[in-house]
Amino acid sequence: MTAFPHPTEVLPHREPFLFLDEVTMLDPGVAAEGYWQLTGDEAFFAGHFPGRPTLPGVLQCESIAQLGAYSVLLHAQMVGKLALFGGLDKARFRRQVLPGDRLDLRIDVGRMSARAGKASGRASVNGELACSCELMFVLVDL
């Protein structure tokens, strides 16, 4: 199995806003797979929702976007760039994601230029789709 750089070696995100634990498959600028292991100790579970902790859908989309940024930033032409969210379309949430779940992520990068691009992604738990969305991103110099 090929070991890929830890997300903190590629992304500027840090705790408590890093939602990608490991990348398990990578074709830079094309596709990637990885996961986010939820422990249940994340602070947002206390307020979303008391007595019924649920991973917010927007954080599912953010974890997909972080995997997308990881894939894009490791493309040879993107050295010295920062990927920023440009938009989010067709976000759909199909199941609850609970404390202790492993959120498996997949991103497929579509159109990409030196300044922007589009991708589609999904998140699942135990093979069951939890979230899908289309992302737009812009690339800026660091």
Give the tens place of pLDDT for each residue, 35-88.
999 999 999 999 999 999 999 999 999 999 999 999 999 998 898 999 999 999
- C-alpha to C-alpha distances, 48 to 61, 79, 87, 104, 131, nearest whole angstrom: 16, 37, 24, 21, 17
Q: What range does the domain containing 22 cover?
A: 7-141
CATH no. for residue 94? 3.10.129.10
Provide the annotated active-site residues: 48
Question: Which tokens go with 77?
Answer: 């032409």
| Whole-prediction pTM | 0.96
- For residue 30, being part of any structural domain is answered with yes
Our count of domains for the chain comes to 1
- For residue 1, being part of any structural domain is answered with no
The answer to whether residue 142 scores a pLDDT higher than 90 is no
